[in-house]
Amino acid sequence: MLKPISFLLLSAGLLFTGCRSRSANSTQYFTIADATKEQFFTLTRLGTHGTPKSVQLRITGKIESSAKLIVLLNGHPQQTFEFPAGAVDSEWHGEWLSSQLNLHYLPAAVKSGALQIACQFSD
């Protein structure tokens, strides 16, 4: 039977073994509060100076008409999301070797709505 102090030390050791700082891979959130306007924006990897290996995006929300969200790398489209009117819930995970992610939001006669974007760069 383990004594309480031994159990505490063993638990602490298991907790920290193999853990990595989440700062390099933390999720960032961005909101397109006014889905009626075209927008360009850049998400930058936080907490590290290393190059990521991949990126994951999740887009949720609701828009009244259709819209597009284009992922750009060096000005060139890498992924295009096409959202019909209504609820939006899309995900994308891809190889990504840049610390920045440029996005171009293009509404098509959207009269109202908002979108939330979660972005996670990973090693």
Residue ranges covered by each domain of the chain: 21-122
Q: Residue-wise pLDDT tens for the chain (123 aa)?
A: 444 443 333 333 333 333 233 444 588 899 999 999 999 999 988 876 678 999 999 999 999 999 999 999 989 999 999 999 999 999 999 999 998 999 999 999 899 999 999 999 998
Alpha carbon distance 98, 73 (integer Å): 8
pLDDT at 74: 87
Surface-to-core class of residue 55, CB atoms within 10 Å of its CB (0-12 exposed, 13-18 middle, 19+ buried)? buried
Domain 21-122 has CATH 3.40.190.10: no
pLDDT at 49: 67
pLDDT at 50: 78
pLDDT at 59: 97
Alpha carbon distance 98, 54 (integer Å): 9
pLDDT at 47: 75
